[in-house]
Structure 1
């Protein structure tokens, strides 16, 4: 049985067409992987996140432009992907798949296509992001802010006391540091009031 299966394969491999088919397959695979890699890079750029759709360009990007993450005394900026896109490979791929759902549920369906609609959904969207960040221990924050490299001598007494309290109570960055780059929603629970069930954390949720 095995010989009957392998004999046609051997005959095909010995034919002149085999190298051509393999070469074409290699070329198609290389082109596909290159396109995928380029897509991952392009969709993680500031122009794509901030201005490629009017929902972001007229709301979130406007708010971000006046925040400390965009304009500050050191000139070090954190752009959209720094906060909203994972930097490790597997979480990145999961987040990109989740973003397809965001594209459908918010852009295609025109759910937040006006400032009024966006404001009506702000609290829900912010809470989704807060749950996501609480569930991964503010992973994207920690990509830039390394707690081990924080110099306590350069922190105020209040900051040192609050960081110590956060460590004791197993809090994460977003429990205190939120509404930094975007306006805080009116009403609804804040990050500290949100209970996070690991099984219900929105995978790759941007909105």
Structure 2
């Protein structure tokens, strides 16, 4: 008599049971690996990558730092402008060179302030883009988690069905073994 796996069955059916256990042990890591690769692939397709949150936080920190610098530059600019007005009021003809140097400093300070403004604006735009990407990724992550949960349930159902089939197979093998030994076999519903 041959068993379901094509080999000869032992009197107690031990080779079939140990083979089934080995198949289950081999199947679980394989299924886990497939699920892991699928999950990682989905995350990459959605734009998730290691360091995304760190990059976002670094951008926010830079924006705050530049905003602070912007405030300082604005205050310095006002002080410089007021000092220039005071100097012009007290200015004598021989101090024109000093006034020109101060005007040049003021001009460079204004250029630096404009540069800081444009960088802050760019960072704010980048922050908005990152926030919208993160929100979209969160929506996609939730959908992915729902799919994952459905897959997990399907796997659990398939595993339960496999256990039932194995139980029936063992019962049929035992019935077959007992009928060969001259004992009446029991019938099992299919």
TM more than 0.5 = no
**TM norm structure 2:** 0.20
TM-score (norm 1): 0.19
Higher Rg of the two aligned structures: 2
